[in-house]
Amino acid sequence: MVKVVFIPVFIKNNNKIGWAVKIEFEIRLHVKDKVLLEEIQNYFQVGNIFINSRQGVSFRIQSPKDLAKIIDLLDLYPLRTQKLSDYILFKEVFNLILNKQHLTLSGLHKIVAIKASMNLGLSESLQAAFPDVIPRIRPLANNPSIIDPEWLTGFAAAEGCFFVHIFKSPTHKLKEGVQLEFNLTQHNRDELLMKSLIEFFNCGNLQMSKNACMYRVTNIPDIAEKIMPLFEKYPIYGAKSKDFADFYKVLEMVKLKKHLTKEGLEQIRIIKAGMNTGRSEMPT
């Protein structure tokens, strides 16, 4: 899963207002997709890449001059999820810093109020330092329907999954059956956007949980005729493309009914074992 973060950072300081403020833009990915972050870095010609852990890697920009390149891009190609609200607030902080208002006490309080409405809100130390802060009203992001298939393939590369399920079935000759599933998961605040996937693909359903909503397609004809053609025309990049390729192999086997044979089922079992979390974690 990809995580894009817009971060105002507060650092205790000995200046006259007691705090220094900087801002960061960060994209966090699984280390398998490090090459994608390298491509992003090459595109912008700014920022740095950090290995956060055995499984995590991030691309980070901190310089206001370099952040202007991100601002220009996201103004031209707006975010479609509720992350847009964080971006709008982030841009307000960016402009305050450009105008050096972060060097004044009143400007600092404005930035604290904005941060209180972003991401996870204020840390305990900031809450203690600014107990009377009134959080900035969070702007509502429009939730447009899906209109750009290339955006959708990027979204699927970040938040989508191609699953092969092998399940016990007393009605099958081999006592096991095969089910394919494509899904996309997002925070439930993006429910309207996720519902638009049903209209876009003309198939699937939405499953809601406490904090998330999942668009899910399991019907084989729908997967073969509506889901796969999109990703064949607009390919997925990164590690997820390998899962798509394996998923496609299994789909073709199911269409030819090879999953109903012992040899075919075992071949599918091997393919499944190497997908998603079963795939090597390190980039090749």
Domain of 238, in residue numbers: 149-278
Q: Which of 79, 97, 129 is the last residue of a domain?
A: 129
The verdict on 62 and 169 lying in the same domain is no
Tell me the CATH number at 163: 3.10.28.10
The residue that leads in pLDDT, 14 or 117, is 117
Residue 141 lies in a domain: no
Residue 217 lies in a domain: yes
DSSP 225: I
- Asked if residue 89 lies in contact with residue 55, where contact means CB atoms within 8 angstroms, the answer is no
Q: Tell me the mean pLDDT in the region 127-155.
A: 85
What pLDDT does 143 receive?
A: 61
The verdict on 103 and 39 lying in the same domain is yes
What pLDDT does 208 receive?
A: 93
157 Cβ contact partners less than 8 Å away, ≥ 6 residues apart: 2, 236, 237, 238, 240, 241
pTM score: 0.80
Residue 138 lies in a domain: no
What total of structural domains would you count in the chain?
2
The verdict on 94 and 158 lying in the same domain is no
- At residue 10, φ and ψ (nearest 5 deg) are -110, 130
pLDDT, tens digit (0-9, with 9 covering 90-100), for 163-221: 999 999 998 899 999 999 999 999 888 898 899 999 999 999 999 988 899 999 999 99
